[in-house]
Amino acid sequence: MEQETVQPKKSGKNSILWGILILVVVGIVSSRYFHAVLPHVQLPPENLTEHPLISLPVLGDVYFTNTMVAMVLLDIILLLIAFSVQKYIQSGSLVPKGISGAIEAILEYLYGMTEATTGAKWAKEVFPFFAIPMLTLLVANWMELIPGVDSIGLLHASAEHGYPVKQLIPGIATIIEGEAAHGHGFGVIPFVRTLTTDLNFTVALALFSVVMVQLIGVRAQGGHYFTKFFNFPALKKNAGMGSIYFVVGLLELVSEFSKILSFSFRLFGNIFAGTIMLFVIGTLVPVLAQTIFLGLEVFVGLIQAFVFGMLTMLFMAQTLHAHE
Amino acid sequence: MTGDIVAAAKLIGASLAMLPTFGAGLGIGILGSGAVQGIARNPDASGMVQTNMILAIAFAEAIAIYSLVVALLILFVF
């Protein structure tokens, strides 16, 4: 009995090792024939459609971009995780296993941290705004590690910085190294681009976090919360020192806006730089070197997701109590 | 010696924009040394120290990342 349960595991491990070995050999051979090409770096996400989806009066045209595809994928992944956890809860088994066990461990750790910072009373209110950005960003950041994201897509003619194209099999082609004749070069528009390399997404998430920080502050302190920004009581009490406190309050208001900036640019910059770095390392040393940097990117993605959620939680904990 | 002087200015500007990484590196070094000293004196508190260190490092690193964003903007947008 014992041996029967152990045996399939061992063969599974072996097949994984063989798979990795085969992939390494394929990587070495293919890098001999197809040199990695440095992609054209573009800050805004690429449009997958020629024509805009909708035109808004003030904001302008809205295109279907490749980060939207990533957003849909992210939603599907999170929903699948949620459903699997729900299924496990409904089954009534108390022994956590598989993905639901991992989710339980993560959430328990996060909840413990929230409780230690905010106290037991507010932990339930604050916890979702720690866990939601964290889990969302974890999936979104780690999407850049999947091969094919950022590299498989549509070919399009580009006016400058184009590369020559070589056909592999009918319907599938690749760009190759070299300088194309002017006007005959091609570039790649990837189907999926890492979600956090889109500034629209990070700003939206930062706005969500900072607005919810204000709402939690109002819920905890009521109207008194706004004296943090417009300190009229101190001004009334004492004109001399009160005016200084009033100006300090106005600075607090400015720092609230700079929170949005720092939230969004930290996340965007880290992940965008990471994706570019992976491509550059891939062109410099095609084999094995990228693996080390993939490990680094796993770490960076985790840290940035954690820092985003953690900071939201810390800012919320700061708004719970007025300081006189 | 041929080329576009605007392209050269872009490259110089981008490399100058990356200068703040000096400060960020210094800050991360100081943070790391402080955290290691703290853990050496009180190994029981290593978990707390580590969490706070990573948080502070993320802050220090953010400064470097801002400069990187500015450099990328100079190179690829303007």
pLDDT, position A4: 43
Structural domain span for residue B11: 5-76
Interface test with A, best of B69, B74, B77 (most A CBs within 10 A): B69
Whether A279 has its CB under 8 Å from any CB of chain B: the answer is no
How much of chain B exceeds pLDDT 70, in percent?
Answer: 97
pLDDT, position B5: 87
Bridge partners, A155 (sequence order): A188
Residue of A113, A265, A306 lying closest to B69 (CB–CB): A265
Q: Lowest mean pLDDT of A3-12, A15-24, A267-276, A292-301, name the range.
A: A3-12
CATH number at residue B66: 1.20.20.10
Burial (Cβ within 10 Å: 0-12, 13-18, ≥19) of residue A266: buried
Residue of B51, B55, B76 lying closest to A43 (CB–CB): B76
**Which whole number is the average pLDDT over A280-291?**
80
Where do the domains of chain A lie? 44-150+194-319, 153-190
Q: State ipTM.
A: 0.71
Q: Lowest mean pLDDT of A109-113, A145-149, A301-305, B25-29, name the range.
A: A145-149
Question: Parallel, antiparallel, or unpaired for β A60-62 and A54-56?
Answer: antiparallel
Whether A7 has its CB under 8 Å from any CB of chain B: the answer is no
Interface test with A, best of B4, B48, B61, B78 (most A CBs within 10 A): B61
Closest CA to A310 of B49, B70, B76, B52: B52
Interface contacts (A, B; CB < 8 Å): 41
Q: Do A310 and B55 touch (CB under 8 A)?
A: yes
Q: Do A272 and B58 touch (CB under 8 A)?
A: no
**Which whole number is the average pLDDT over B18-42?**
93
pLDDT, position A55: 78
Q: How many domains does chain B have?
A: 1
pLDDT digits (tens, 9 = 90+) for A16-61: 899 888 988 888 888 777 777 777 777 788 887 777 777 777 777 7
Whether the per-residue pLDDT at A192 is higher than 50: the answer is yes
pLDDT digits (tens, 9 = 90+) for A121-149: 889 989 999 999 999 999 999 988 888 88
pLDDT, position B41: 94
pLDDT, position A209: 93
pLDDT digits (tens, 9 = 90+) for A250-259: 888 888 888 8
Average model confidence (pLDDT) across chain A: 83
Whether the per-residue pLDDT at A11 is higher than 70: the answer is no
Whether the per-residue pLDDT at A6 is higher than 50: the answer is no
Distance in Å, alpha carbon of A114 to nearest chain B alpha carbon: 13
Q: Lowest mean pLDDT of A3-7, A88-92, A190-194, A290-294, name the range.
A: A3-7
pTM as predicted: 0.82
pLDDT digits (tens, 9 = 90+) for A67-111: 888 999 999 999 999 998 888 888 877 777 778 888 888 999 999
User: Structure tokens of A322?
Assistant: 């007025």
Whether the per-residue pLDDT at A176 is higher than 50: the answer is yes
